[in-house]
Amino acid sequence: MLRMTFAAVLLLAGCSQMVTAPQDRHAAHLDPVPGKAVIYIVRTPMDSREASSLALDDREQITTLRGTYYRWEVDPGTYRLKGVGPTNESITLSAGPGSVHFLEHTVTGTLRSGVQLTAIRAISPEAGRTLVLRSERL
């Protein structure tokens, strides 16, 4: 009886669908988009627990968290990303068609003191892809 139960479990396990790893789900979205530019904002897993907001050209706003990323698909052009609220970090980038940009958003602070310092910087495609694959999408 035990052998039949074990065999049934193995049979069912063999029929179960493979679960896609998070890296596999993200990998398909890291490619360029024809006629568009892609901008990734990434926060490292070792960053502060404090949330911080960014605006894209004063028209679209996101709030980033430790270990997360956000992906914008935009028309080609020049864009300015800047901090919202007490933060004043900013970066301007020229986004051409088919380009992919990775920006690291760093936040320093504590629950008691709140956000103390923020920064945003362009990082290499290799570093950006690695961070995105280790992060969760907002």
How confident is the model at residue 76, as a pLDDT? Answer: 98
How confident is the model at residue 1, as a pLDDT? Answer: 54
Q: How confident is the model at residue 26 (pLDDT cuts 50, 70, 90)?
A: very low
Tell me the torsion sign for CA atoms 84, 136, 92, 75. Answer: negative
How confident is the model at residue 95, as a pLDDT? Answer: 97
Domains of the chain: 22-137 (2.60.40)
**Mean pLDDT, rounded, for 52-76:** 94
Q: How far is CA 81 from CA 15, 24, 28, 126, 129, in A?
A: 48, 28, 25, 21, 20
Cα–Cα dist 138/103, whole Å: 15
Tell me the pLDDT of the chain averaged across its residues: 83
